[in-house]
A and B are shown apart, each in its own frame.
Chain A
Amino acid sequence: MHELSLLEDVLSIIEDNADSQGYTSVKKVCLEIGALSCVEPEALRFAFDIVMKNSLADGATLDIVTMPGQAICQQCGREIEVFELHTPCPDCQSFSLDIQSGLEMRVRDLIVN
């Protein structure tokens, strides 16, 4: 379950920014997770409370925003929405897609005090 180590990285980001952004307690964490990223949102939710325990985000809620998969077909040039990594272009059926977004995993923002 790599979601556990990804959440440890989320916690480091929260801790690393605490001084510069002037917060001591985090109430809500908003993550942007690409629809094509290899992350299972339910696994993130499952592990979130455990990883945040005894940190400055102890008890914080987790908000996950799913970012849609967008690609450009390298054969016909059409911009398409992609739901899985093995989706063909609906026009020309090519699998040669240049994925523009949907693979990201970002800490978007926090609600803090």
Chain B
Amino acid sequence: MCTTCGCGSSETLNHQHASKVGAADKTDLRLVQLEKDVLGKNKRYATQNREYFQQHEIFALNIISSPGSGKTSLLTATIDALKDQVDINVIEGDQSSQLDADRIRSSGAKAIQINTGKGCHLDAHQVGHAVEDLNPADKGVLFIENVGNLVCPAPFDLGEAYKVVMLSVTEGEDKPLKYPDIFYAADLMIINKTDLLPYVDFNMEQCIAYAKQINPNLIIIKLSATKGDGLSAWAQWIMKQRVLNESKHKP
């Protein structure tokens, strides 16, 4: 008798481990144990993307925030700061329109727009196809601007080197406690629109303390994408991590 499922087979392998649900059940219902990770398919695609990025020495960042925190403004400012040093490509995720990809292109980087339709986040399969179409140059930086949403993108690995979560000072310092999943998943937090601090009731220290309660290892950069304050710290972080990331994956 099979010791795994208790059926009459003499072999423990090469048969299905599905047991009857109740011996007297005339409708032939049975239990099938699967133990499958719901995100397994996304993880497989993310692994393929990550391998592609490593082979081509592409430094990929997944940028996540609420709508209106300033993701696209941050990217256009970053492109301005770094385009003479490194090749920059952008995957733009939005439910509809080409507006953000157009903004990125006008700042001088190559961009492709993914319209998710009713989808509230990017997944690794969509990103894989976008990378095929975009064909980013080797040794460059790839920004993946996720759909504006602080909740749904959190569990979806896209194959990026790091997840970057951004909030702006107009949103309130309690965002990390209200939306903890993304702050737990992220490696770096950007606090944007610091130029507006004199005009809003935002407690910077409290915001950072909340974020560190969820993720003590979170790196924090404060900046103003439109005015440029703090942007150099962000640009330096990218260039440094890009080199570290490459050397980490060299044989």
* Chain A residues engaging chain B, CB cutoff 8 angstroms: 1-2, 5-6, 9-10, 12-13, 17, 20-23, 27, 31, 37-39, 84-86, 88, 95-96, 104-113
Q: Which of B1-9, B34-42, B90-98, B107-115 is near enough to bind chain A?
A: B34-42
Residues of A within 8 A of B31 (CB): 109-112
Q: Does A88 contact B213, Cβ atoms closer than 8 Å? A: yes
B9-50, CB under 8 A of A: which get 1 and which 0? 000000010100100000111111111111111100000000
In the complex, what residue of chain B is closest to A18 when comparing beta carbons? B32
Tell me if A109 and B213 are in contact (CB < 8 A): no
Q: Which among B29, B32, B184 is the interface contact of A109 at CB below 8 angstroms?
A: B32
- B67 located at the interface, meaning its Cβ lies under 8 Å from any Cβ of chain A in the complex: no
Chain A residues, CB < 8 A from B120: 1-2
Count of chain B residues with Cβ under 8 Å from any Cβ of A? 40
What is the minimal beta-carbon distance from B236 to any residue of chain A, in angstroms? 27
Q: List 24 A-B contacts (CB under 8 A).
A: A2-B121, A2-B152, A2-B156, A5-B119, A5-B123, A6-B155, A20-B16, A21-B32, A22-B16, A22-B18, A23-B30, A39-B155, A85-B181, A85-B214, A95-B216, A105-B38, A106-B36, A108-B33, A109-B31, A109-B33, A110-B34, A111-B21, A112-B29, A112-B31
Name B17's closest neighbour in chain A (CB-CB): A21
Q: Which A residues touch B32, using CB under 8 A?
A: 17, 21, 23, 109-112
Q: Which residues of B contact A108 (CB under 8 A)?
A: 33-35
Q: Which of A20, A22, A85, A105 lies in contact with B39, CB distance below 8 A? A: A105
* Interchain CB contact (< 8 A) of A1 among B16, B18, B40, B152: B152
Q: Tell me if B212 counts as interface (CB < 8 A to partner A).
A: yes
Contact residues in A for B154 (Cβ distance below 8 Å) = 38
